[in-house]
Structure 1
Amino acid sequence: MWADKLKLSKQLVRTVTEAGFNNPKEVQLKTLARIAGGQDLLVAGPEGCGKTTTYVLAVLNRIKQGFGDAPRVLILVENKEKVEAVSGQFKLFNKNKSLQIVGLYPAPGIEAQMDALADGSDVVVATPDRARAIYLKLGLNLNKVELLIVDDADLIIKQGMQLPVAELANSIAKAQHLVFTEVVHDKLWKMIDPFMKLPATVEVEELSETDLVTYEQLLYQVPNFRTKLNLLYLFLADAELFTKAIVFANTVFTAEKLYKSLQQRLKHEVALFNPEFFDVTGFKDLFEFKASTSARILIVANENSGLTDVLDIPFILHFELPLEQEIFIKRVTNPSPQEKNETLAITFATDLELNAVKKIEQAIGQKIPVAALPDDLHIEKEQKPETEEKKAVKVKNPDPEPGTAFHEKKASNAKTYNFSSGEKAKMNNKRKH
């Protein structure tokens, strides 16, 4: 039952119960009372854990009567579909028919949405870009906003809409801030730091109860693509440890780029799965690769390989996560857990890929351990898209030359990975393969 400590009105509790929500979820138990207390919150939880319902109930509990002259709540979401979904939640729970909910999203004819705002609004649900556009046209009055909610913050960042979020937040004189996300990472903190002062963080984990046995896994979080390349070479350059390894990329283009970059350094030790050109070292069969005495690294493109059976390969490296999480799960599932198997599955992920990692963790019912980056890894600086485009025009060969994309190790640093003693011992067991 909905407890009194959640500080919801009796009418709202009755409405929620009638709608079939008999018991509050973990996220509601952890946040509703704190929202009512006026605290800034950063709430992290998986899809379906009840984040949207949480803030809809908080808003309805806060606004007892509609005024209609200017919005008191601004909710920013990722796209039109989410605007409509959130508006639908308000209609489900809103028994106060005088409360005006207005949705703003990119669509032909901005005037119609400006007219809707002029007619009166209490809650505005909007995409950041459309809200900003109407605000700059003086059609969105933020002077009375007392609650700013950013939902799906990680997806908003993935779409590159941090700037309109920050501009809208900074245009509100004083408000309570609630940010909901599936994952928390550096790019998220960079977006919210200017307007959220010491927010409390609430995390909700809802993992599947599926008893799935996987290979040993490690997750390496890196800032960008070029640092991924550096980390990949740093590992694979150790021929004694990485005796056989498969590297998965999403597209043929990326797979070929990885092949050319690694082949500059490792020569015949690198091969491509199902190569399109005769002059490329490659294999069309995984058994051929396993039997090869010279090739120890196989680059595979997810988009056309269909390769999921990687039994007896000591190292599986996902340079990129496949678009279908089922492919990843099948690759890392241990088909013979009763037998001793030394396969290690390593995943590289940037901030923008952590969302997919969280969904995989939710599906397999376990967290993937995060490993510390090696001390001698060269961290590449972030580059602006405009700069990268200009360079792409000037440079004929996009493949990184030695000393650019990769950072050569000093002799004194060779094989000194920043692994714990347990991780290093497990990886050393792969040499017998």
Structure 2
Amino acid sequence: MPFKKLHSDIKEKLASLQIQTPTPFQSNSIPVIKSGANVFCTASKNSGKTTTLILTTLQKLKCEAVGNSPRAVVLVENKEKALELYDTFLTFTKHTSLRVYVGYEQLHIDVQKSEIFEGIDILISTPVTMNKLLLLNGLSISQLKILSIDDSEFLIQKSAYNALMQITNSIEKCQYVLYSEKMHPKLKRFESYFMEYSRIVAV
């Protein structure tokens, strides 16, 4: 079954990349994420989690730039993951007006602040860097619609976990989607904090 009920720009891009059929994980997860619920997505490696993250982010933002503040945030473990995901995002956003920005610890925080100030739609960052930007008033999250976390197992590390808790305390309302290979007890604990009424998609 082909990808249905996605923005026409996304369907066009999938066709140009010759991606015609969703994986079982994508068939199960995309409708749930599109519903706006908080979702724990667990599936094995190479099941299409990262592509799902990108497609649902673009769908949420209707494939177009709006305003100056990020409306989507994707958190990852480190600089390598951030840059890798950034490149993959660009494959999908190339012919849209969406502005994707990548930040990480090794990039000076003042550089990030001034570049973000120019206007972005999607921020890819590590929890520690994003938290630092928030503390320094270098980031407005008033327009945030969706926060996704790729390969979220890294959140069992104390610094990343604490930074995420501080970030989510600053956010009034948005959708959260966590992707992982397995449901770690520490991830399940987020249900009591920001993953309220969450749904689980496990394939």
- TM above 0.5, yes or no, is yes
Q: Which amino acid aligns with 2:31?
A: A
Once the two structures are TM-superposed, the CA of residue 108 in structure 1 deviates from its matched residue by: 4.4
Alignment-derived partner of residue 2 in structure 2: 2
Mapped to 2, the partners of 1:12 and 1:3 lie a distance apart of 9
Larger CA Rg, structure 1 vs 2: 1
Partner Cα separation in structure 1 for residue 191 and residue 80 of structure 2: 24
Q: 2:51 aligns to what?
A: 53
SS in 2 for 1:161: helix
Tell me if the contact between 2:103 and 2:123 (Cα under 8 Å) persists in the aligned partners.
yes
Higher relative contact order (CA 8 A, sep 6+): 2
**Corresponding residue of 1:27:** 25
Distance 1:154 1:62, change over 3 A: same
CA distance in 1, matches of 2:97, 2:122: 11
- Does 2:75 align with 1:76? yes
Identity %: 28
The runs of 5 or more residues in structure 1 that have no matched partner are 205-433
Matches within 5 A, 1:96-245: 96-158=95-157, 160-204=159-203
Residues 213-258 of structure 1 deviation map (CA, whole Å, 9 limit, x = unaligned): xxxxxxxxxxxxxxxxxxxxxxxxxxxxxxxxxxxxxxxxxxxxxx
CA contact (8 A) 2:131 2:163 kept: yes
In the TM superposition, residue 139 of structure 1 has moved relative to its aligned partner by 0.1
Offset, 1:25: 0.8
Tell me if the contact between 1:42 and 1:179 (Cα under 8 Å) persists in the aligned partners. Answer: yes
More helix by share: 2
The runs of at least 4 consecutive aligned structure 1 residues that moved more than 3 Å come to none
Residue type at the aligned position of 1:178: V
Gaps of 5+ in 2: none
How many corresponding residue pairs?
202
Counterpart residue identity of residue 71, structure 2: R
1:14 aligns with 2:45: no
1:360-381 alpha-carbon deviations (Å, 9 max, x no partner): xxxxxxxxxxxxxxxxxxxxxx
Q: How far is the alpha carbon of 1:11 from its aligned partner?
A: 2.6
Q: CA, structure 1 residues 203+146, in 2 after alignment: closer, same or farther (shift >3 Å)? A: same
CA–CA distance in 2 between the matches of 1:84 and 1:193? Answer: 31
Partner of 1:115, secondary structure, is helix
Please list, as runs of the form range in 1=range in 2, the aligned pairs for 1:348-427 lying within 5 A after superposition: none
State the 1:173 CA deviation. Answer: 0.7
CA RMSD of superposed structures (Å): 1.6
Q: CA deviation at 1:159?
A: 6.1
The answer to whether the 8 Å contact 1:40/1:196 transfers is: yes
